Structure 1
Amino acid sequence: MTTSESQHRAETAGPVVRTATGAVRGRHEDSLAVFRGIPFAEPPVGEARFQAPRPARPWSGTREAYAFGPPPPQDLGVQGNAVAAAGDPADDDWLTVNVWTPEADRSAGRPVMVWIYGGSYKMGHAGQPSYDARRIARDGDVVVVTFNYRVGVEGFTHLDGAPANRGLLDQVAALEWVRENIAGFGGDPEQVTVFGESAGAGSVASLLAMPRARGLFRRAVAQSLPGTFFSDELARDMAAALAAEAGLKPTAADLATVDPRQLISAGQALSAKMPGRIDSWGQAAPTVTPFAPIVDGDVLPTTPWQALTAGAARDVDLLVGHNRDEFRLFMAMGGMLGRITDDRLTQTLRLLAPGGEAGERAYRAALPDASPSDLFERVQTDWLFAMPTLHLAEAQLTGGGSAHVYELTLPAPGNGGVLGACHALDIALLFGTYHAVVGGLLFAGAEVSAETQELSALFRRSWTSFARTGDPGWPVYDTEARLVRILDTAPTVTAYPHERRRLLWEGYDFPALPLLGQRLPMGSMSTCTGVPQIRSTS
């Protein structure tokens, strides 16, 4: 074979980039160079099980980076085969990154956007079709990175003999990989934006508060930030209950004797029993998710709201927002639309609204014409997503930083529009993966209209503009005008549109959820209110 033939073969086979641990070969796809499944840490198994991530081992030769790495062990939820199809489930090389970068001039030093997936901290992986980043990279002329991190028992159960928040430590390791290697892919390590949705937004907020993550990114986007952060005591009590489901002690040594995939069933069993622990686990119990970032005083010293108020992220540009009808997705999937009784509403308002019984009365007075089902949805949306998101922006302002705020109000067209502007719709619009999100539920039976495609393009322009300049295209938020971008078929800028409900939460600081008093026997209060016992998709 001649020299020119060898060179042609290498070029057609795919682009090659040398990383700190070895060379990788990607693929040419739609004017992009795409690399998948690059290890950023050792497989967290054997002696590394339940420990902080360790640097990936170097390899010789050129590694083919053609396929996504396998997902971490997890509750499959409604994603089902989408998780299994991502890679060999017997493969332990969970901690991998993927890169989409424009082919033209890969020495340009483009802005870098690092996506963190959601999934209730118990499921999700970077290989999901809904996170195909080609449109963001191509339309915005940016480098996009996605990666896997440990979820569920492996990533967020609080065990003796193991650091807390291992999933967050994986995220820090991935960002360190970006800082060390992204220049070779055409990215600027000084222009990194982290962005994520739901549990991914909770992860972004956590990174803003974590000393270990300082300096690893310049900008941050939190989409539908959940307010659920666990206190150290609550997380340890949950860990003991989870280990008991497997007949074990809540230690890294004990749980390491069980295959990671076998522990999934213990987490599922505990989730099903969580509503019976409302007396000891309080607001966390109805979420049926025993995993969340833990305010352990070390990895995560305080809640994000406390950290930002104290100025921890004043030098980071922040973009936050939520969808108008976040909780309606869960109500639809749980068969609850139009089926909430006034008694159940009362219980939910007293559990979630600030002030207990006073909060119940205040919500009813603020929304006097709302049906029980509508008011149930509103308080769930506010407690879980809307108000934590808005308060993060306000904490950033208090700490000396700035923030831009948005609300998505476009209804999902699927199923006759019954889902409204629900949870996860922003993923479909941002990535342009309309029929891949939530199993296609959001666009089921509906065409993607030209107006929806235009809004999708606006999402990408705004997000990539923010990654490049810190300005998504509308004014910064302040506590006087409270201007936010309303994202719909006719986008506008207006004062935050839910002032009555915002005032109900004024002064609430979203503390880490505590461990309460003596628990009731398992199975008691099994009809308590809260998040339905379904598995979240984002």
Structure 2
Amino acid sequence: MTTTEPPAGAARTAGPVVRTASGAVRGLHEDGLAVFRGIPFAEPPVGAARFQAPCPARPWDGTREAYAFGPPPPQEPGIQGRKAAGVPGPTGDDWLTVNVWTPDPDPSSARPVMVWIYGGAYKLGHAGQPAYDAQHIARDGDVVVVTFNYRVGMEGFALLDGAPANRGLLDQVAALEWVRANIAAFGGDPEQITVFGESAGAGSVASLLAMPRARGLFRRAVAQSLPGTFFSEALARDLAAALAAEAGRRPAAADLATVDPRRLTDAGQSLSAKMFHRTDRWGQAAPTVTPFSPVVDGDVLPTTPWQALAAGAARDVDLLVGHNRDEFRLFLAMEGLLDEITQDQLTGALRLLAPGGAAGERAYRAAFPDATPTDLYERVQTDWLFAMPSLHLADAQRAGGGRAHVYELAWPAPGGSQYLGACHGLDIPLLFGTFRADLGILLFSGAEVPAEAQELSSRFRRSWTAFARTGDPGWPAYDTDERLVQVLDAEPTVTTYPRETSRRLWEGHAFLPLPLLGQEADRP
């Protein structure tokens, strides 16, 4: 293969050569780390491979330059049905690539390995986003960090005739198989692999815990802000039919394969913008405005994660799970609804999302009598979508004989962003130390990052990497007697679970696959 100079950048020079199962790759030396980007772990899923399970990457001759991230998978350029700038990054079909940050690519090093799975509502995201620059985690924690791309949107999650379900999850399994087979050559220990992810990435982590195909591929798991949305087959098929109709096609792999992957993202964005008003048909999935989620198909994903863990599927995997205190405030701000929620909107949300419908509405109002409509709306949305699914996953892990640690991030975003509180996504810049990238630009908009943010960021990395190394993040394991959790704030404390009122409202609730409602549910 041809040789070029490494890209310009601070402290960047041509780095070591590592031999993988598919061929040799050369990385870069960057500020004390060896960094490898854009290594294929599977063949491009195009042509005859479109909408199919991933196939191993073909071997190559010579040395491949692993200097640049691979191209992002096709995806919508906006969120919540809104237009945004195009997705930055290289173009091409080689979407399924991995990236490695390692302190020392010496096979005798055997460092713990942390594998990051990005979020983005199962329709956005890629490993090359600046927010996921893993240098601080690798350097501060003395661990090997891996990130990778997986298919999102229609390519990865639409339930289509002639295609396996949950292709995005199958991509993740393929990436973990690549890690197990190759990471020792990068200085990592294949017996000490931790998967970690946020939002849809946390939903992916929870799915992997429940998937027979993923068993034995990792030893520990971190789920940050786990969403409770998993689709039934009936709901997923109905959404896939609506998506295909937006593209003028049938919901079949053969039909959709004739459409350019980048044009199909328009169909997803168009349907997302219409979903909010279809609670009569799509129920609780409608207000999420994403037609994609893991599908409980009985094969790739046999059951929901809560059912699987309670049955002992992950009792041998250490679990760290938690959420942010004010998750949904980010989405309210994006829609310009902070302090704008009406009583009618609140009533609709409570009856749709709270356990028990109208009885759940009354219970929430009685439990929080002094809350404003906006505050109560945000609370039930946060509880339903992130907080209670996260806590119930820890409960399920304990019920199945496993071990779990739980946290809540309570530290609010600083400066002009303070009205967002401890909102969704705040944990990403804190964990990665990427305060000037992506969402971090909004949440840390001042001239300087506050010292307490820097300290909390260091604490995040110490706890997460300690967990990857030992299974102990530095606070007591969770149980259903004391319910001790780590509250991450300017002064972190260990206390009983702080959302006890919400916990009691959701006690006994089962997070089942979301159903299809109305007459459509009865159609063959």
TM-score normalised according to structure 1 size = 0.93
Q: Identify the residue that residue 7 of structure 2 maps to in structure 1.
A: none
Partner Cα distance (2:83, 2:291) in 1: 20
Bigger mean CA offset, 279-288 vs 322-331: 279-288
Task: Give the match's secondary structure for 1:13.
Answer: strand
Q: Identify the residue that residue 276 of structure 1 maps to in structure 2.
A: 277
Task: Give the match's secondary structure for 1:263.
Answer: helix
1:4-23 superposed matches below 5 A:
13-23=14-24
Task: Give the match's secondary structure for 2:308.
Answer: helix
- The alignment status of 1:127 with 2:125, answered yes or no, reads no
- The alignment status of 1:142 with 2:140, answered yes or no, reads no
Q: Identify the residue that residue 475 of structure 2 maps to in structure 1.
A: 474
Contact kept in structure 2, 1:277 and 1:519, CA below 8 Å: no
Task: Give the match's secondary structure for 2:287.
Answer: helix
- The alignment status of 1:87 with 2:94, answered yes or no, reads no
- The alignment status of 1:258 with 2:243, answered yes or no, reads no
Partner Cα distance (1:46, 1:314) in 2: 40
Task: Give the match's secondary structure for 2:175.
Answer: helix
Task: Give the match's secondary structure for 2:390.
Answer: helix
Q: Identify the residue that residue 98 of structure 2 maps to in structure 1.
A: 97
Task: Give the match's secondary structure for 1:297.
Answer: coil
- Letter of the 2:101 partner, please give it: W
Q: Identify the residue that residue 309 of structure 1 maps to in structure 2.
A: 310
1:144-183 superposed matches below 5 A:
144-183=145-184
Q: CA deviation at 1:202?
A: 0.1
Contact kept in structure 2, 1:435 and 1:442, CA below 8 Å: no
Partner Cα distance (1:211, 1:470) in 2: 22
Task: Give the match's secondary structure for 2:273.
Answer: helix
Q: Identify the residue that residue 227 of structure 1 maps to in structure 2.
A: 228
Partner Cα distance (1:59, 1:416) in 2: 48
Aligned-residue Cα RMSD (Å) equals 1.6
5+ long unaligned stretches in structure 1: 1-10, 521-538
Partner Cα distance (2:415, 2:53) in 1: 42
**Aligned pairs, number:** 508
Partner Cα distance (1:160, 1:135) in 2: 43
Q: CA deviation at 1:509?
A: 1.0
Q: Deviations for 1:270-289, whole angstroms, at most 9, x for unmatched residues?
A: 11111232111100011110
Q: CA deviation at 1:446?
A: 5.3
- Letter of the 1:294 partner, please give it: V
Contact kept in structure 2, 1:69 and 1:127, CA below 8 Å: yes
Contact kept in structure 2, 1:414 and 1:446, CA below 8 Å: no
Task: Give the match's secondary structure for 1:230.
Answer: coil
- Letter of the 1:471 partner, please give it: D
Contact kept in structure 2, 1:424 and 1:437, CA below 8 Å: no
Partner Cα distance (1:80, 1:378) in 2: 27
1:296-445 superposed matches below 5 A:
296-438=297-439, 440-445=441-446
- The alignment status of 1:73 with 2:74, answered yes or no, reads yes
Task: Provide closer, same or farther for how the CA distance between residues 172 and 464 of structure 1 changes in structure 2, counting only shifts above 3 A.
Answer: same
Contact kept in structure 2, 1:83 and 1:125, CA below 8 Å: no
- The alignment status of 1:453 with 2:454, answered yes or no, reads yes
Partner Cα distance (1:81, 1:20) in 2: 39
Contact kept in structure 2, 1:484 and 1:496, CA below 8 Å: yes
Task: Give the match's secondary structure for 1:77.
Answer: coil
Q: Deviations for 1:76-101, whole angstroms, at most 9, x for unmatched residues?
A: 1269998633212xx00000000000
Partner Cα distance (1:287, 1:343) in 2: 19
5+ long unaligned stretches in structure 2: 1-11
Q: Identify the residue that residue 514 of structure 2 maps to in structure 1.
A: 513
Contact kept in structure 2, 1:320 and 1:389, CA below 8 Å: yes
Q: CA deviation at 1:106?
A: 5.2
Q: Identify the residue that residue 53 of structure 2 maps to in structure 1.
A: 52
Partner Cα distance (1:12, 1:350) in 2: 58
Q: CA deviation at 1:12?
A: 5.8
Q: CA deviation at 1:416?
A: 4.6
Q: Deviations for 1:437-486, whole angstroms, at most 9, x for unmatched residues?
A: 32611111353111111110000000000000000000000111100001
Contact kept in structure 2, 1:35 and 1:100, CA below 8 Å: yes
Task: Provide closer, same or farther for how the CA distance between residues 83 and 27 of structure 1 changes in structure 2, counting only shifts above 3 A.
Answer: farther
Identity %: 79
Q: Deviations for 1:500-534, whole angstroms, at most 9, x for unmatched residues?
A: 110000011110000111369xxxxxxxxxxxxxx
Bigger mean CA offset, 211-220 vs 442-451: 442-451
Q: CA deviation at 1:14?
A: 1.4
Task: Provide closer, same or farther for how the CA distance between residues 337 and 63 of structure 1 changes in structure 2, counting only shifts above 3 A.
Answer: same
Q: Identify the residue that residue 529 of structure 1 maps to in structure 2.
A: none
Q: CA deviation at 1:343?
A: 1.2
Contact kept in structure 2, 1:219 and 1:317, CA below 8 Å: yes
- Letter of the 2:90 partner, please give it: G
Q: Deviations for 1:200-239, whole angstroms, at most 9, x for unmatched residues?
A: 0000000000000000000000000000000011000000
1:194-273 superposed matches below 5 A:
194-273=195-274
